């Protein structure tokens, strides 16, 4: 390779590395924003200063000399209150505008009364403790009576007494500026905060193109789980990955998949046979798998393909599975739960360490329908959002989705309640939330019989030391009497 070609190759590698770094940074930022509290705090940092600056700029732009500096402290405080809890008690546009304006009007009325009592003009009123107390009292009574209780109303009531502009101008400026802020807040809440799942939650994207290796104790049940996950989603598909023993390839008079190319488009076989499955059989013929594919496509309406690869022992390695994932453009591997000597097999472990999302299915009795689904969550984030999204896909047609968080003490209940509320409010259906003062394994042992499926995380975001101190949740659920799906978020 000559010098120019070598330089060009190095530049291409640098550019590719920069693109990967950029994608990683963008993904990390989106994952950070998926925590509702982070999104709210970022919005406060952006909108509170900008809105105060915008009001000041508009006043200067239109040469409105009557706008007092005393307008800005209550406006900034109230704007912070508005954005800090966008679904709370003080997040009402009517309360925001009405409360601030009412406070200013009360202050104005206090000045007028003071002017009459003192026998001076409003501009010459001497503000004493009596008038300040009267203004605060009237603000509290008026906002309470009108259901406009707003903390910043007390500020506008007091500042109206000392503003250097006319009190009338101050009241008008409070009303106009609060209405402007409210308009921006309503747009932000309606088009960004309430739609944040659409714009920010990359975690609910994906899971529409699923690869299912035919292996494990209940491969047919796992195939149904993968198909149920993709049903009803545009552009979805299921790829069934079968294996044949290298020594037995000639036994099947069919071509074996090369580099993961599909052997079937999921069409219905001529005899229309529906296969119920031979559990544990890892060396299926193409015809057998195509019958399973046809059954899945007929039941779920999802295009289903078949890929066969050769393997020395009739079981595809994780590397082979990942190669087929890339060749078939899948974004999720759904595979059966496998253990050896009480620990995960190398196959599952290698998938967990890959860059592809994995859903590991531990079936109890080979069921192929899941109506009631439970999702235990440890903290908010992209994994929690995706687990809940997957649960809603499984529990279609009147099924039940429940989300639970386990706490160690009653002091954690309030924070847990807010976290669960933020998690489920982006889901377009009813979701139950529960808070349990029990260890997760004890809680699941008590309630698992009420559910068909429990969706848990793989704890892949925890450090090695943390996993040694406390085993991952899924490793503590051996006795749970329902199916378990373990999500490992890697993509």
399-436: pLDDT as tens digits: 899 999 999 888 999 889 988 988 888 787 889 999 99
Task: Name the superfamily (CATH) of residues 369-491.
Answer: HUPs (3.40.50.620)
Question: How far is the C-alpha of 436 from the C-alpha of 350, rounded, in Å?
Answer: 34
For residue 458, name the pLDDT band (cuts at 50, 70, 90): confident
Residue 406, classed as helix, strand or coil, is strand
Q: Comparing 14-28, 208-222, 271-285, 320-334, which segment has the lowest mean pLDDT?
A: 271-285
* Contact (Cβ atoms closer than 8 angstroms) between residue 336 and residue 218: yes
CATH of domain 204-361: 3.40.50.620
Highest-pLDDT range among 124-133, 262-271, 452-461: 124-133
Of the chain, the percentage scoring pLDDT greater than 90 comes to 42
For residue 254, name the pLDDT band (cuts at 50, 70, 90): very low
For residue 390, name the pLDDT band (cuts at 50, 70, 90): very high
CA dihedral 403, 406, 411, 412 (to 10 degrees): -60
Alpha carbon of residue 445 to chain centroid: 27
| Mean pLDDT on 291-304 | 93
Query: Can you give the residue ranges of every domain in the chain?
Result: 3-31, 37-197, 204-361, 369-491
Q: Which residue has the higher pLDDT, 183 or 59?
A: 183
Are 204-361 and 369-491 equal in CATH topology? yes
Q: Comparing 11-15, 150-154, 302-306, 327-331, which segment has the lowest mean pLDDT?
A: 11-15
Paired sense of beta strands 357-362 and 432-436, if any = unpaired
Tokens for 293, please give them.
């594919």
- Residue 22 phi/psi, 5-degree rounding, is -65, -45
Q: What is the pTM of this model?
A: 0.68
Highest-pLDDT range among 209-213, 418-422, 458-462: 209-213
Rounded to the nearest 5 degrees, what angle is found at the Cα of 379, between the Cα atoms of 357 and 330? 10
Q: Comparing 7-11, 355-359, 360-364, 452-456, which segment has the lowest mean pLDDT?
A: 7-11
When the pLDDT of each residue in the chain is averaged and rounded to a whole number, the result is: 82
Burial class (CB in 10 A: 0-12, 13-18, 19+), 250: exposed
Tell me the torsion sign for CA atoms 261, 267, 271, 277.
positive
**What pLDDT, on a 0 to 100 scale, did the predictor assign at position 463?**
55
**What pLDDT, on a 0 to 100 scale, did the predictor assign at position 4?**
63
Alpha carbon of residue 180 to chain centroid: 31
Q: What is the pLDDT of residues 82-136, one digit of tens each?
A: 999 888 888 899 999 999 999 999 999 999 999 899 988 888 888 889 999 999 9
| Residue located via tokens 């944040």 | 196
Question: How far is the C-alpha of 147 from the C-alpha of 428, rounded, in Å?
Answer: 31
């Amino acid at each position: 390779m000559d010098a120019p070609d070598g330089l060009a190759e190095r530049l291409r590698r640098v550019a590719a590395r920069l693109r990967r770094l950029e994608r990683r940074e963008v993904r990390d930022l989106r994952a950070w924003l998926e925590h509702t509290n982070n999104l709210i705090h970022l919005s406060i940092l952006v909108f509170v200063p900008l809105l105060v600056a915008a009001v000041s700029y508009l006043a200067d732009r239109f040469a409105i000399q009557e706008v007092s500096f005393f307008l800005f402290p209550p406006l900034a405080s109230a704007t912070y209150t508005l954005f800090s809890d966008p679904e709370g008690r003080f997040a009402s546009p009517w309360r925001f505008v009405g409360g601030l304006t009412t406070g200013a009007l009360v202050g104005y009325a206090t000045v007028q009364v003071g002017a009459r009592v003192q026998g001076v003009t409003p501009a010459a009123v001497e503000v004493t403790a009596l008038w300040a107390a009267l203004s605060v009292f009237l603000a509290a009574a008026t906002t309470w009576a009108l259901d406009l209780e707003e903390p910043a109303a007390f500020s506008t009531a007091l500042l109206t007494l000392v503003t250097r502009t006319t009190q009338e101008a101050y009241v008008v400026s409070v009303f106009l500026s609060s209405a402007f802020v409210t308009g921006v807040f309503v747009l932000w809440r309606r088009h960004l905060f309430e739609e944040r799942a659409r714009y920010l939650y990359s975690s609910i994207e994906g899971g529409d193109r699923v690869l299912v290796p035919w292996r494990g104790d209940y491969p047919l049940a796992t195939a149904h789980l993968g198909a149920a996950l993709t049903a009803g989603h545009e552009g979805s598909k299921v790829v069934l990955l079968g294996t044949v023993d290298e020594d037995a390839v000639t036994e099947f008079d069919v071509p074996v998949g090369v580099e993961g190319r599909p052997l079937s488009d999921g069409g219905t076989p001529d005899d229309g046979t529906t296969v119920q499955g031979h559990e544990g059989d890892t060396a299926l013929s193409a015809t057998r798998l195509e019958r399973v594919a046809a059954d899945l496509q007929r039941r779920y309406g999802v295009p289903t393909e078949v890929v066969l690869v050769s393997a020395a022992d009739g079981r595809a390695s994780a590397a082979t599975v990942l190669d087929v994932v890339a060749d078939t453009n899948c974004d999720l591997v759904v595979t059966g739960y496998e253990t050896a000597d009480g620990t995960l097999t190398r196959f599952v472990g290698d998938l967990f360490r890959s860059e592809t999302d994995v859903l590991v299915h531990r079936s109890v009795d080979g069921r192929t329908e899941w109506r009631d689904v439970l999702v235990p969550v440890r903290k908010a984030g992209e994994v929690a959002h995706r687990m809940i999204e997957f649960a809603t896909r499984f529990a279609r047609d009147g099924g039940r989705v429940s989300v639970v968080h386990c706490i160690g003490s009653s002091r954690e209940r309030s924070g847990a309640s807010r976290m669960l509320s933020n998690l489920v409010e982006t889901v377009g259906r009813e979701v139950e939330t529960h808070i349990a003062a029990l260890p997760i394994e004890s809680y699941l042992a008590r309630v698992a019989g009420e559910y068909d499926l429990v969706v848990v995380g793989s704890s892949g975001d925890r450090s090695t030391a943390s996993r040694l101190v406390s085993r991952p949740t899924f490793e503590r659920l051996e006795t749970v009497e329902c199916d378990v799906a373990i999500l490992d978020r890697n993509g």
